[in-house]
């Protein structure tokens, strides 16, 4: 069971909790060596207009680019984050399904058999892992 699913910055919904993995600073010009993660509730987007410097000759020099920032509420404090960072939707499993899967996995049986039991009971779909080559062939056939 995955605990989170990566989501695009365009699909953030207000009043929903997200896990934010910050890898870029607010102006998108510095990538951090270590990413910082926190959970916050999405509030809104903010558009920051780029700045230019004009000369008498008509030449315009771009001093900073335009960008979007996302505002999150983290423990009552509003925090702005660049939309270039990664956002993950926090998935909350159904407590009944979670308890059923836990019961199956506490049985004294081999893990392969436990997976088959779980698939048979319908708690989780069976996973089939395919190589990239097999997936390309399937896409060409479609």
Q: What is the DSSP string of the chain?
A: --SEEEE-GGG--TT-EEEEEEEE-TTSS-EEEEEEEEEEEEEEEEEE--EEEE-TTS-EEEEE--EEEEEEEETTEEEEEETTSEEEEEP---HHHHHHHHHHHTSSS-HHHHHHHHHHHTSSPPP----HHHHHHHHHH-
Per run of 10 residues, the mean pLDDT along the chain (length 142 residues) is 73 92 90 90 92 91 90 94 91 79 85 79 56 56 56
Which pLDDT belongs to residue 138? 56
The predicted model scores a pTM of 0.62
Which pLDDT belongs to residue 71? 95
Where do the structural domains in the chain lie, given as residue ranges? Answer: 4-90, 95-141
């Amino acid at each position: 069971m995955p605990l989170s699913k990566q989501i695009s910055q365009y699909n953030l919904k207000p009043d929903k909790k997200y896990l934010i993995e910050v890898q870029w600073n607010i102006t998108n010009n510095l990538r951090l060596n270590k990413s910082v993660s926190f959970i916050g509730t999405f509030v809104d987007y903010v558009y920051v207009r780029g700045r230019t410097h004009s000369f008498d000759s008509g030449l315009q020099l771009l001093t900073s680019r335009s960008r979007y920032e996302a505002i999150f509420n983290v423990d009552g404090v509003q925090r702005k984050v660049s939309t270039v960072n990664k956002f993950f939707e926090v998935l909350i499993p159904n407590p009944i399904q979670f308890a059923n899967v836990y019961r199956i996995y506490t049985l004294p049986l081999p893990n392969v058999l436990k997976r088959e039991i779980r698939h048979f009971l319908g708690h989780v779909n069976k996973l089939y892992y395919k190589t990239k080559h097999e997936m390309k062939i399937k896409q060409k056939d479609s």
